Amino acid sequence: MSEPTTRVWDGPTRLFHWALVILILVAWLTAEEQMTVHRGAGYAILGLLAFRVWWGLAGGSTARFTHFVRGPGAIRRYIAASREGTVGEHAGHNPLGALSVLALLGLVGLQVILGLFAIDEDGFEGGPLSDGIDFELARQIAEWHELTFRLLQGLVVLHLAAIVYHAVRRREDLVRPMITGVRRFRGPVEGLVRAPLWRLAVGVLIGVAVGYAASRGFRLR
């Protein structure tokens, strides 16, 4: 008898996830020779992050920060249960995975914000806010911008390693649910509660507004 399936991820969360993956790849591949595309990807990422913050507050149940962000005690208990092989199933992010999600979102956000102020060594290519600060400071920020991307690459590797671990050691497929929205569970699990459509519309407007404002250097006149 096959295990029952439960819907755990809504469409906006899945679209955000894969759009962010694609845009980070685009930003990486265009960082040296195609700065116009690189900046555009950065603005789009910033808009996506603004949407995700809204969706983490008002979106579907499993996308909300209150659903998966847990304190140190819950994280310690999850780690102990994992070692003992008694960990339960989670619809959405588990307490340890939540740390990875928050770290990735925070580091991507920092990376993009630094990019707004960074400038190249010749002073020709820079973020929309680079002309408002000292050149030497903008160059220092450019170095931080590059450093945070190296840190981001490390986090992505850890994220992928965790996915492989769950697939091999715990027989849990974490990729397919982020594509289809549904996941198989051995027992009953409370599934997704969808958010009203108007909240999605508000989130899209917020994301577009933030991305557009960033592209204008937040000078809207």
In tens, the pLDDT along 136-184 reads 999 999 999 999 999 999 999 999 999 998 889 878 888 999 999 988 8
pLDDT of residue 89: 67
pLDDT of residue 1: 42
Q: Residues 56-82: pLDDT tens digits?
A: 999 999 999 998 888 888 888 888 887
pLDDT of residue 220: 61
Which residue from 61, 51, 179, 63 is spatially nearest to 108, judged by alpha carbons? 51
pLDDT of residue 184: 80
pLDDT of residue 221: 58
Our CA dihedral for 102, 163, 16, 2, rounded to 10 degrees, sits at -130
| Mean pLDDT, range 85-97, rounded to an integer | 75
Q: How far is CA 202 from CA 54, 63, 176, 209, in A?
A: 9, 16, 28, 10
Please spell the DSSP secondary structure of 146-165, one letter per residue: HHHHHHHHHHHHHHHHHHHH
pLDDT of residue 2: 52
pLDDT of residue 41: 97
pLDDT of residue 23: 98
The proportion of the chain whose per-residue pLDDT surpasses 90, expressed as a percent, equals 62
How far is C-alpha 214 from the geometric centre of its chain's CA atoms?
18
Contact call for residues 196 and 104 (beta carbons, < 8 A): no
| Mean pLDDT, range 86-105, rounded to an integer | 82
pLDDT of residue 86: 66
Contact call for residues 56 and 65 (beta carbons, < 8 A): yes
Whether the predicted pLDDT of 13 surpasses 60: yes
Q: Which domains does the chain have, with CATH numbers?
A: 11-215 (1.20.950.20)
Could you tell me the pTM of the whole model?
Answer: 0.91
Cα angle value 189/194/197 (rounded, 5°): 175
Please spell the DSSP secondary structure of 78-96, one letter per residue: HHHHHHHT-----SS--HH
Which residue from 105, 82, 200, 164 is spatially nearest to 90, judged by alpha carbons? 82
**CA–CA separation, 10 and 104 (whole Å):** 20
Whether the predicted pLDDT of 106 surpasses 60: yes
Query: What mean pLDDT value characterizes the chain?
Result: 90
Confidence of residue 33 (pLDDT cuts 50, 70, 90): confident
pLDDT of residue 70: 85
Q: List the alpha helices (DSSP H) in 11-71.
A: 11-29, 35-58, 65-68
